[in-house]
Amino acid sequence: MISDKYWVYFVGAGPGDPDLITVKGRKCIERADLVLYAGSLVPKELVACAGADAKVVDSSSMTLEETHAMMTETIRSGGTVARVHTGDPSLYGAVKEQMVLLDRGGVNYEIIPGVTVAFAAAAAARVSFTLPEKVQSLIFTRLEGRTPVPDKERLRELARHNTSLAIYLSSTNPEGVARELIEGGYSEDTPVVVAYRVGWPDEMILPTSIANLAETVKDAGIRQQAVFLILPGQQDDPHFSRLYSPEFSHGCRE
């Protein structure tokens, strides 16, 4: 349900496929007076449902101050804003600084979750991040680049857990990713899925291994907009979940 008490809606647009936005997110766009979307990552088709009188603006070349000023102007005129982000706003979405400014101005806002690219990539590749008795954890992370990473969260440190990993914002340095993973303890033959522009017409889902990661990325001509899924245990003999075993009772089955 969409409430009238909010002036700004941060909408998770999903990875790119216009059908992967939530119903609530789409309704927010349809009702908004200003639709501000990150055009470098969100396809224009996804915001095509905006109202005929709505102002639809690509924010990819704008600064934080410029986007905030535009939202404030709309709010002061009595309008509502749909701030549309790729994937889910809570993950690498640069939402915190926008919320701080809105909080300072006493502006009510709501966050509408979206499908993050790692989940869309796993679905497209037909893999599971968790495997019974093998892998029960998933870490979202990135390689250090222009944005620093805390020492305890460096990729080689997280790799020591040998869990499934979803590595974002690191496709410009696949060699560094592979090196950090191997130094952290993953075997070179650990399965990897390289997922490029998931949900877009030029989507690529490329299975490979840690040892061949850099070559796969280079051969595909990928320089950005890719996520790497690190998937230990995928090649092992499967252990099936006990949930559907006839010997396993629970609250819905004796």
pLDDT-derived band at 2, boundaries 50, 70, 90: low
CA 74 to chain centroid? 28
Structure confidence at residue 235 as a pLDDT band (50, 70, 90): confident
Distance CA 166, CA 145 (A): 16
Amino acid at 93: G
Question: What is the predicted pLDDT for the residue at 147?
Answer: 83
Q: Which residues of 73-82 are buried (b: 16+ CB within 10 A; e: fewer)?
A: ebbeeeebbb
Q: Identity (one letter) of the amino acid at 46?
A: L
141 pLDDT exceeds 70? yes
CA-based nearest residue to 170, from 184, 154, 185: 154
pLDDT at 239: 54
3-state secondary structure 9-39: EEEECECCCHHHCCHHHHHHHHHCCEEEECC
Kindly report the pTM of this predicted structure: 0.89
Alpha-carbon distance of 177 to 251, in angstroms, equals 44
Residues 137-175, buried b or exposed e (16+ Cβ, 10 A)?
ebbebbbbeeeeeeeeebbebbbeebbbbbbbbbbeebe
Burial of 4 (0-12, 13-18, 19+ CB in 10 A): exposed
The token duo for 120 is 């869309």
Return the DSSP state at 244.
G
Condensed to tens digits (0 to 9), the pLDDT of residues 179-211 reads: 999 999 999 999 999 999 999 999 999 999 999
Q: Using a pLDDT cut of 70, give the percent of the chain over it.
A: 91
Question: Could you read off the pLDDT of 71-110 as tens digits, one per residue?
Answer: 999 999 999 999 999 999 999 988 999 999 999 999 999 9
* Six token digits for residue 84: 């549309």
HEC sequence for 35-73: EEECCCCCCHHHHCCCCCCCEEEECCCCCHHHHHHHHHH
Does the pLDDT value for residue 39 go beyond 80?
A: yes
